[in-house]
């Protein structure tokens, strides 16, 4: 189903992630291609963020392979790399569901920290930098120029010297994307970039993401609940439910896929719920202990009558771990 073609940047192959007895993702395979926006969607708790955490090295997957290929042909097996090395060498950047800016540093400083590795090399790992070498000065100027160009793109050039924590919510979201882009990624992973944005801000975000796709040689992987964003800009959609892929294709095909409609929007209690439950139970029994099955069935019943509510990220939930 997932073929490794020459445009592919990311290839996820039979990815499985278990936490104790809970299987968050099972046997997931999909590709993301360069200069394309791949959306990863699914109801709450489907395992989307877990996929991100596996790709960016925050979790080590239980099974499976995550292969990243650079345009010039170098390949990286991400499941074997440390999280910071994935960003540094494999060039994968990410944003977080709850914004993680350096709120006490200015907007410009945030973008400078993102260029840490380039600047670190230019400063001779601090040795020549502390002696005031002109080559570091040049590198720093170049870094500031790059930060400025991103600030123009996200429309925050006038707030460059303000602390990042002072920005409105929508601006913080865009700044986090710009910060991720300052690491020169090959693959950009965005975890719910439209969460908490109003329709106008969502529209701005769409424009920004389309601009990034147009101007940069980067594959974008997107988790999103906001369907106006997902359907409006994605080239390719992967739908997850209970850690399993239930659909994969263009927005048009995914939208009309009966499995997606059933999982995502829920089904009427009297029409098809029993069928869905039976299917889930059957698949669960095959590999899980009985206790697990019971907890698996409960939310399905509930969801059959309820639409999934898009998650709202509030200031309060941004507490750090």
Is residue 189 classed as helix, strand or coil in its secondary structure?
strand
Structure-token match 């540093």, residue found: 105
CA 12 to chain centre: 14
Q: Which two tokens stand for residue 288?
A: 């899980």
Query: Distance (Å, rounded) from C-alpha 130 to C-alpha 19?
Result: 46
Structure-token match 């445009």, residue found: 7
Among 34, 69, 94, 146, binds another protein (CB under 8 A): 94
271 binds another protein (CB under 8 A): no
236 binds another protein (CB under 8 A): no
Query: Distance (Å, rounded) from C-alpha 291 to C-alpha 279?
Result: 17
16 and 23 Cβ atoms separated by less than 8 Å: yes
178 phi, psi to nearest 5 deg: -60, -40
10 binds another protein (CB under 8 A): no
Nearer Cβ to another protein, position 81 or 304?
A: 81
Nearer Cβ to another protein, position 130 or 252?
A: 130
Among positions 302-321, residues that touch another protein (CB under 8 A) are 320-321
Span near another protein by CB under 8 A; candidates 115-123, 215-223, 231-239, 268-276:
115-123
53 binds another protein (CB under 8 A): no
Among positions 134-153, residues that touch another protein (CB under 8 A) are 136, 140, 144, 148
156 and 174 Cβ atoms separated by less than 8 Å: yes
CB of 82 to another protein, least distance (A): 9
5 binds another protein (CB under 8 A): no
Sign, Cα dihedral of 7, 225, 201, 109: negative
CB of 104 to another protein, least distance (A): 3
Q: How far is residue 19 from each of residues 16, 50, 119, measured CA to CA in Å?
A: 10, 11, 38
70 binds another protein (CB under 8 A): no
87 binds another protein (CB under 8 A): yes
Enumerate binding residues for another protein (CB under 8 A).
56, 58, 83-88, 93-94, 96, 100-106, 108-109, 112-117, 119-120, 123, 126, 129-130, 132, 136, 140, 144, 148, 157, 160-163, 165-166, 179-180, 183, 320-321
């Amino acid at each position: 189903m997932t073929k490794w073609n020459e445009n592919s940047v990311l290839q996820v192959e039979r990815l499985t992630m278990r936490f104790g007895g809970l299987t968050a993702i099972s046997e997931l395979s999909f590709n993301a291609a360069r200069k394309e926006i791949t959306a990863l969607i699914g109801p709450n708790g489907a395992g989307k963020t877990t996929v991100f955490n596996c790709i960016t090295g925050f979790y080590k997957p239980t099974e499976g392979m995550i292969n990243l290929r650079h345009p010039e042909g170098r390949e990286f097996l991400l499941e074997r790399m440390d999280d910071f090395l994935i960003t540094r060498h494999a060039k994968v950047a990410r944003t977080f569901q709850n914004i993680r800016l350096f709120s006490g540093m200015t907007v410009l400083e945030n973008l400078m920290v993102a260029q840490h590795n380039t600047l670190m090399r230019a400063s001779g790992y601090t040795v020549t930098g502390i002696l005031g070498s002109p080559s570091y000065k040049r590198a720093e100027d170049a870094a500031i120029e790059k930060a400025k160009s991103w600030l123009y793109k996200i429309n925050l050039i006038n707030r460059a010297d303000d602390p990042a924590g002072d920005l409105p919510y929508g601006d913080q979201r865009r700044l986090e994307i710009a910060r991720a882009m300052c690491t020169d990624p090959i693959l950009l992973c965005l975890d719910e970039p439209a969460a908490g944005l109003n329709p106008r801000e969502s529209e701005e975000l769409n424009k920004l993401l389309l601009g990034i796709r147009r101007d940069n040689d980067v594959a974008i992987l997107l988790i999103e609940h906001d369907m106006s964003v997902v359907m409006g800009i994605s080239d390719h959609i992967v739908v997850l439910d209970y850690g399993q892929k239930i659909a994969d294709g263009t927005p048009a095909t995914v939208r009309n896929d009966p499995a997606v409609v059933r999982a995502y929007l829920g089904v009427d209690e009297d029409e098809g719920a029993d069928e869905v439950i039976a299917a889930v139970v059957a698949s669960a029994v095959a590999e899980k202990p009985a206790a697990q099955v019971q907890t698996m069935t409960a939310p399905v019943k509930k969801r059959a009558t309820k639409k999934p509510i898009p998650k709202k990220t509030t200031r309060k939930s941004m507490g750090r771990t």
